[in-house]
Amino acid sequence: MSSKKFNQKFNVSNIKLKQQLVSLACGLLFLLIAHCSLLAAFAQSKLAILVPEKNTQSRNFTEKFESSLSKNFKVLDASLSETAFSSANYEKPFNLSLEESKNIGAAIGCDYFLLVKADTLRRYSFEKKEFYESYATIYVVSSRTGRLVFWKLINSETETVEKSERKLFDSINDLSAELSNKLKLAAKEELSEKPAAKLEELPAENSPEAKNFRPPLPYKRIKPEYTKIANLYSVEATVDVEIDVDEKGKILKTEIVRWAGFGLDESVTETINKMQWRAASRNGKTLPLRVLLRYNFKKIDSDE
């Protein structure tokens, strides 16, 4: 091969390599800009902290929690947020639907809102006989989707009320850091989420669509577990879930549309995915369908 042809091939290869490097650099720059934009948007996220049940423990805990969160977020004025929240007058503020949650977020003008409850209880057990438990439950809800993106219960147990509450307050900074990480992940997932596929829903009774229609049904119903932690705190709640069932009876997607926390949402989702389903059909032909299921939970009586 002549020196001239070799130089030409070398120059062509060199140009292609440079083009590839430029393309790679542009791609990395785009990702960096997108990441920085996400971080900037996250840093400007507006939080509202709400205390539906007013008591001394809830107020004291929320005051310290707000101080910790203010280091990373813009926390909105509590009195204005509470006024907007109170105007909705929801009977069960810790058991909201997606639509109710989005309405609250829009009324307040926040990106996320927190529902906080704290209290100190006298407890008894065989080991300790008598002790005090200070606890706080935190619900973090997205105003855009209405979803419960983070739920946490923290508690402390000691022999006196003062020690128990002090120990609970000492865990606030760790809780704030955990919440920040969860919200970063939630913000990223919301931005990358694709629109849900449109599926037919259950037809109204006596409508033309209901003629010769058979809804999807599980071959064997399984009752979701009422979790031990829900029972311990005497939680009564309703969990609504939408499920997408394809034409073969396979569960494509589950979406909690009324959340409750205390592990009840996860209990419902796990139970539904364990069941085998018969597909919906019309005129003998199977079809994919979206259906709403409702589960009610209440405290288990000691004699049951």
CB-based burial label for 113 (10 Å; 0-12, 13-18, 19+): buried
Instruction: Identify the pLDDT of residue 225.
Output: 96
Name the pTM for this structure: 0.82
Whole-Å CA distances, 263 to 48, 222, 266: 24, 17, 5
What whole-number distance in Å separates Cα of residue 66 and Cα of residue 62? 6
Instruction: With CA atoms as reference, report the closest residue to 226 among 273, 271, 264, 256.
Output: 264
pLDDT for position 199: 87
> Where do the domains of the chain lie, and which CATH numbers do they carry?
46-192 (3.40.50), 208-297 (3.30.2420.10)
Q: Which three-class secondary structure string do you get for 172-228? A: HHHHHHHHHHHHHHHHHHHHHCCCCCCCCECCCCCCHHHCCEECCEECCCCCCCCCH
In angstroms, the Cα distances linking 199 to 170, 214, 291 are 48, 16, 10
For residues 51 and 107, give the distance between their C-alpha atoms in angstroms, rounded to a whole number: 16
Q: What is the chain's pLDDT, residue by residue, as a tens digit (304 residues)?
A: 555 554 555 455 555 555 555 555 544 444 343 444 444 444 578 999 999 998 999 999 999 999 999 988 999 999 999 999 998 889 999 999 999 999 999 999 999 999 999 999 998 877 767 899 999 999 999 999 999 999 999 999 999 999 999 999 999 999 999 999 999 999 888 888 888 888 888 899 889 989 999 999 999 999 999 999 999 999 999 999 999 999 999 999 999 999 999 999 999 999 999 999 999 999 999 999 999 999 999 987 654 4
DSSP secondary structure, 225-286, as one string: P--HHHHHTT--EEEEEEEEE-TTS-EEEEEEEE---TTHHHHHHHHHHHS-EEPEEETTEE
* Cα–Cα distance, 100 to 96 (Å, whole number): 6
SS3 assignment, position 170: coil
What pLDDT is stored for residue 102 in this prediction? 97
| Whole-Å CA distances, 243 to 45, 60, 265 | 31, 40, 13
